[in-house]
Amino acid sequence: MQNVPYSHRISQVAPSAIREILKVTQDPTVISFAAGNPATESFPAGEFSAIIDRILRESPGSALQYGISEGYAPLRENLKSYLKSKYGIGRDFDDTIIVTGGQQGIEMTAKTLLNDGDTLVCEEPSFLGALNAFRSYDAVLKSAPVEKDGMDLERLEAILKEDKRVKLVYVIPTFQNPSGRVMSLEKRKGLLSLAEKYHFMILEDNPYYDLRYEGEPVPTIKNMDDKGYVVYCGSFSKVLAPGIRVGYVTAPDWMIAKLTVAKQLSDVHTNLLMQMTVDRYMREIGLDRHIEDILRINVRKRDLMLAALEENCHGFMDIERPFGGLFIWAVLPEGYDGTRLCRIAGSYKVAAVPGASFCVDDAKPYPAIRLNFSLPTAEQIEKGCALLGKACEAYRKEV
Amino acid sequence: MQNVPYSHRISQVAPSAIREILKVTQDPTVISFAAGNPATESFPAGEFSAIIDRILRESPGSALQYGISEGYAPLRENLKSYLKSKYGIGRDFDDTIIVTGGQQGIEMTAKTLLNDGDTLVCEEPSFLGALNAFRSYDAVLKSAPVEKDGMDLERLEAILKEDKRVKLVYVIPTFQNPSGRVMSLEKRKGLLSLAEKYHFMILEDNPYYDLRYEGEPVPTIKNMDDKGYVVYCGSFSKVLAPGIRVGYVTAPDWMIAKLTVAKQLSDVHTNLLMQMTVDRYMREIGLDRHIEDILRINVRKRDLMLAALEENCHGFMDIERPFGGLFIWAVLPEGYDGTRLCRIAGSYKVAAVPGASFCVDDAKPYPAIRLNFSLPTAEQIEKGCALLGKACEAYRKEV
C-alpha cells in the first residue's frame, strides 16, 4: 500500500542537511570529520572477548535468557556505587536504569514526560539526535544560545516567564555537542535554581565528562541535585565502546518507575550479555585505567587537528580549543554559512557537519561547523585539514 | 521534584494484573508457568562464544564502533535471502531493518503509523507487550475474538464499517500468544482482502512460526502480500536466544525508510556484536539444525505438561493442544475467572497468567489462563501441574 499517512510525530523529523553531508562520507575517498565516533583503536576488544568467554561458560543461561527491564542487577548496583563515590551522583530518592545507549535514555525521558505541545528548551546549538527525539513526541522546541560558559540563562528565564508549558530543559553541560564548551559551576547552580523556581525537569546528558584533556573538572548538575529535578543520562559509548549499546539513566525513583514502563515497551531490556560484560569489566579491570588510554589517544589527535587547522584555516575560522570531548567547533566570520562551507568541503573530499544541523531551525544559515578529531587517523587529520583549508579559501573567494 | 505530571501516553499504560502475578514468581519457591521464555537449555552458548572470539580478533573495530541504523549490512542481506527462499517473504518493494528484538519492531511501527485517536484492531486475547506499546501512542484499541481458526473477521469487518480511523490491524497468526491458535489460510487471505478493501496496514508478528511440533505449516500473511500491506516482525529470541535482543522488520521500503528514522531516535542501532554473531551463526552453522534441537526439547515439555494437566485439571479446564509455540491455553467453565484462579494458584505456589491480562479491557473477568511449558524443567512441570490441580479444586469449591 502506498500513500499511507505517517504519524504526525514521525513526519516532524525531516531529513536534514546532516544526511546530505553523511552521504558524502559514504565515498571512501572522502576524509570524514563528520562523525561522532570515538577512536576505534581504543576499544578493549581482547578484554571483552576473554570476559564474554567466561560469562558464556559460567552462566550461559542467564546471559542469553530474557532479563528484567530495569537492567542486570549487579551492574545497576556496581554503577550506583561508582557514580556515588566518583561523582557524588545519586541521593536516597534516586535510582538507576540500564538503557540501550544514551540515545534511548533521552528518547524515553521525552516519551515519559512530554505531552503534545509541551515545551522543551535546549541549548543552541545542541545534539541533533536528542532534538529529533523531542520532535518525534510533538514537543515545541525552543532554545537558548550556548555562550562560552554555557547556556544563556537570561534567555532561558525570558522563555520561562512567557511560556508556562516548559516541562523539560535539555543540556549537555560538559564538553557540549557540538560546541565542546563547558557550562560554568555558577550557571549549573543557576539552572538548578530556575528549575526549582519554575518547576521544570532538567535532562543532563553527560557522555563526554570523563574525556577531559585539560583543566579542572566541574561537578555535574546531578551532583548538586538535592531535590530531584535532574534526569541524568550516562553512556559507556565513549569510555568503552558504542557498538555495545549500553547506557544508563539516574533519576528520582518515581521517574525511573515510569522509565521502566517505557523500557518494557521499547525493547524489553538491554542486551544482557553486554550488560554482564560491562559489569565484569568495571569490577575486574576498572574504567579508570582504560579512560587514561583513551585520553592519551584523543589528546594527541586533538592537538594534531588544532595545529593543522591553525596552519590551514587560520584567519578565516575562529577555532575553539576544547578542553575535552570529541569535537572542535569552528566559527566562521559574520556573513558566512557553515552549510555552504560543508558543501564546498565535500567537493574537496573532506566532510564536516554544518552548525545549522544542530539548531532548532536547521534551515537558517549558521556560521559554524563541527569537526570530529577522535575517529580519523593522524594522517587523515593532516590531509583533511589541508583540504579544508582549500575549501575555506574557495569559500572566501566566492563571497 | 515530586508530582510532575507524566505524559498522557505513559499514563495510559497502567500496571496490570500480570504484574501482581509476576511478583508471585519472584518467590523462588514458586513454580512459574507465567513466563514467555524459551527453554534455557537450548541456547547455543558454546557456538556464540567461539564466534564472538573470532569476530573480536578479526574485526574488533567494526564490531565495537557505531553502526548504521538499518542494521549490519551482511546480516540484512543474509536474512533477506533466508526469508525469501525459506518462507517466500519479500517482494521487490520490500526491505528489511534489524531491530533490538521483536518488541522494538512493534513499538516503532506504532510510532511511525499511529496518530492520537487512530484505531488499532487486535486479536482478543493478544500479546500484552504489543497492546501496551499501542496504548503508549494514544491509539484507540479495539479487538476481535480469536476463534479456533484465528481472528473473527466478521467482527473485524463490522469494526471497519463503523470506524474510519482503523489504520493498523495487529495479528499473531501462527501459534498466537496467548492462545496458541493458528489462523487458517482462508482467514489469512480474507484479512489481506480486507486490508485492500478498507485500506489499513497489517502488522504480522511472527516469533513462533518455526516452533511447530505437528501439522502442516500455513504460509505467513507476508508471503501473500503482493501489494505491500503487511509489516512483518520477526525475532531471533525464540530460535536462538532472547537475551541478545535481535529481531527484524520486513516491510515496503517506504515504511522501512520511516522505521529507520524511528530507529535512529530510539537507540541509534542494534548491538553490533550480536548482529555479527547472528549473521555468522546463520552462515556457518545454520538456524535449521538448531531449530530441530529446540523442537526436540519443547515437544517433550509440551507433551509432559499436556499429560500432567489432563491428570490434574481434567474436567475443570478445557486444555487446548497447541501445535506449536510456547504456551498452553486453558479455558475455564462459564462463570469462572482466570484472574481468580491465578490468585488461588499463587497461594499454592504455582504461577500462571490470567487471560484478562491479554485483553483490551483487562479489568473484565476472562475465563482462561496461559501456561508456559518451555521454561520450567520436567520436574517443575509435573509438580506445578499437581499444585494447579489443587488450585482448580479449591476454586471449584469456592464457586
Quick check: B100 and A100 CB within 8 A?
A: yes
Q: Across chain B, which distance is largest between two alpha carbons, in Å?
A: 66
Residue A104 near residue A247 (C-beta atoms within 8 A): yes
Q: At residue A155, what are phi and psi to the nearest 5 degrees?
A: -65, -45
> Which B residues in the span 218-277 are in contact with A, Cβ-Cβ below 8 Å?
227-229, 237, 241-245, 252, 254-255, 258, 261-262, 264-274
The residues with which B232 forms a beta bridge, in sequence order, are B204, B250
Beta strand spans in chain A (E):
31-32, 94-99, 119-124, 140-147, 150-151, 166-171, 201-205, 230-235, 247-252, 318-319, 327-331, 350-351, 353-354, 368-372
Quick check: B45 and A37 CB within 8 A?
A: no
d(CA A89, CA A221) in angstroms, rounded, equals: 9
Residue A357 near residue A369 (C-beta atoms within 8 A): no
Does the pTM surpass 0.80? The reply is yes
Secondary-structure percent of chain B, ordered helix, strand, coil, rounded to 5: 50, 15, 35
The kind and range of the H/E element at B327 are: strand B327-331
Which residue has 482462561 as its cell numbers?
Answer: B368
| CB neighbours of residue A92 within 10 Å | 6
Nearest residue on chain A to B5, alpha-carbon basis: A113
| CA angle (A263 as vertex; A260, A266 as ends), nearest 5 | 160
CB of B399 less than 8 A from some CB of A: no
* Chain centroid, CA A194 distance in Å: 23
| Mean pLDDT on B71-82 | 97
CATH class of the domain comprising B59-285: alpha beta
| Mean pLDDT on B148-167 | 98
Instruction: Write down the pLDDT at residue B1.
Output: 63
Instruction: Write down the pLDDT at residue A17.
Output: 57
Residues of B in contact with A41 (CB under 8 A): 61
Per residue in B341-371, pLDDT tens?
999 999 999 999 999 999 999 889 999 999 9
The percentage of residues in chain B with a pLDDT greater than 70, rounded to a whole number, is 97
Quick check: B228 and A6 CB within 8 A?
A: no
In CATH, what number does B8-37+289-398 get? 3.90.1150.10
**Tally of residues, chain B:** 399
Instruction: Write down the pLDDT at residue B21.
Output: 67
Per-residue pLDDT for B309 more than 80? yes
Instruction: Write down the pLDDT at residue A254.
Output: 94
- Banded pLDDT at B393 (limits 50, 70, 90): very high
Per-residue pLDDT for B17 more than 60? no
Cα B330 to Cα A8, A253, A369, B178, B179, distances in angstroms = 41, 38, 63, 10, 8
Q: Is the peptide bond before B365 cis (omega within 30 degrees of 0)?
A: no
Amino acid type, A355: G
How many Cα neighbours within 13 Å face the side chain of B361? 7
- Banded pLDDT at B2 (limits 50, 70, 90): low
Please name the residue ranges forming H helices in B3-59: 8-11, 17-24, 45-58
Amino acid type, B102: G
For chain A, the domains span 8-37+289-398, 45-285
> Which B residues in the span 146-185 are in contact with A, Cβ-Cβ below 8 Å?
167
In CATH, what number does A45-285 get? 3.40.640.10
Minimal C-alpha gap between A309 and chain B (Å)? 26
Nearest CB neighbour to B242, from listed A65, A112, A244:
A65
Nearest CB neighbour to A65, from listed B8, B37, B252:
B37
Give the residue from B47, B94, B74 showing the smallest Cα distance to B225: B94
Instruction: Write down the pLDDT at residue B9.
Output: 83
Average pLDDT, chain B: 95
Nearest CB neighbour to B243, from listed A52, A113, A273:
A273
ipTM of the complex: 0.96
Per residue in A43-87, pLDDT tens?
999 999 999 999 999 999 999 999 999 999 999 999 999 999 999
- Banded pLDDT at B141 (limits 50, 70, 90): very high
Nearest residue on chain A to B35, alpha-carbon basis: A66
Minimal C-alpha gap between B315 and chain A (Å)? 35
- Banded pLDDT at B13 (limits 50, 70, 90): confident
Q: Is the peptide bond before B125 cis (omega within 30 degrees of 0)?
A: yes
| CB neighbours of residue A37 within 10 Å | 18
d(CA A44, CA B271) in angstroms, rounded, equals: 16
Residue A4 near residue B201 (C-beta atoms within 8 A): yes
Instruction: Write down the pLDDT at residue B18.
Output: 64
Nearest residue on chain B to A41, alpha-carbon basis: B61
Regions of chain A where pLDDT drops below 50: none
